[in-house]
């Protein structure tokens, strides 16, 4: 009996380790667009991993997405910290889709560990189609970490997010 339990325990540990390794490598290997991404789980394939705040996850056309439901009297935000040590400029990209959002749009904010932050406002197009957003952020200011925050401002409706990417901006050869 002890031998059978030992074999079952070893098998369970091996299965758990294999699943943990697969989860740790998932995203970059399954989605080439995520290669070099400073965010964990930018393609939402691993559920809530890496993301904090007012969000849920759903499937849209067989694709995992992050979902934010706007509220009339409060902003809804989600975020993730990324390592920016030795980086000067970062490019943030993501896709969004909404068919019914009515409100003041998004606020994109980067908070530094000294408490300072930089933000920009962005209107949303509510047509039920995916839209690409890009923010060339050049205000890292030698901070080892920054927190990227996406806020859906007061309003009504649902906004879907996917393929959230942060990559180092490389200097072009002509500069």
pLDDT of amino acid 138: 85
User: pLDDT band at residue 24, thresholds of 50, 70 and 90?
Assistant: very low
Instruction: Tell me the per-residue pLDDT of 103-140, one tens digit each, with 9 for 90 and over.
Output: 999 999 999 988 899 999 999 999 999 999 999 988 88
Domain extent at residue 159: 37-168
Residue 83's CATH number: 2.60.120.260
Q: Does residue 12 register a pLDDT over 50? A: no
Assigned token pair, 25:
């490598």
Instruction: Tell me the per-residue pLDDT of 54-85, one tens digit each, with 9 for 90 and over.
Output: 999 999 999 999 999 999 999 999 999 999 88
Assigned token pair, 5:
């339990």
Tell me, yes or no, whether 69 and 96 share the same domain: yes
15: in domain: yes
21: in domain: yes
139: in domain: yes
If you average pLDDT over every residue of the chain, what do you get?
Answer: 83
| Stated pTM of the model | 0.77
């Amino acid at each position: 009996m002890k031998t059978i339990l030992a074999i079952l325990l070893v098998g369970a540990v091996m299965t758990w380790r294999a699943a943990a390794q697969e989860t740790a490598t998932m995203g970059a290997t399954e989605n080439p667009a995520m290669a070099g991404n400073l965010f964990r789980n930018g393609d939402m394939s691993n559920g809530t991993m890496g993301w904090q705040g007012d969000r849920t996850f759903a499937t849209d056309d067989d694709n995992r997405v992050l979902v934010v439901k706007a509220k009339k009297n409060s902003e809804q935000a989600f975020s993730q910290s990324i390592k920016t040590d030795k980086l000067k400029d970062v490019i943030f990209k993501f896709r969004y889709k909404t068919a019914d959002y009515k409100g003041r749009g998004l606020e994109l904010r980067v908070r530094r560990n000294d408490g300072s932050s930089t933000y920009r406002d962005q209107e949303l197009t509510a047509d039920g189609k995916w839209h690409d957003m890009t923010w060339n952020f050049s205000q890292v200011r030698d901070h080892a970490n920054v927190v990227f925050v996406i806020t859906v401002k007061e309003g009504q409706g649902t906004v879907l997010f996917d393929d959230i990417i942060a990559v180092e901006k490389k200097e072009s050869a002509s500069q």
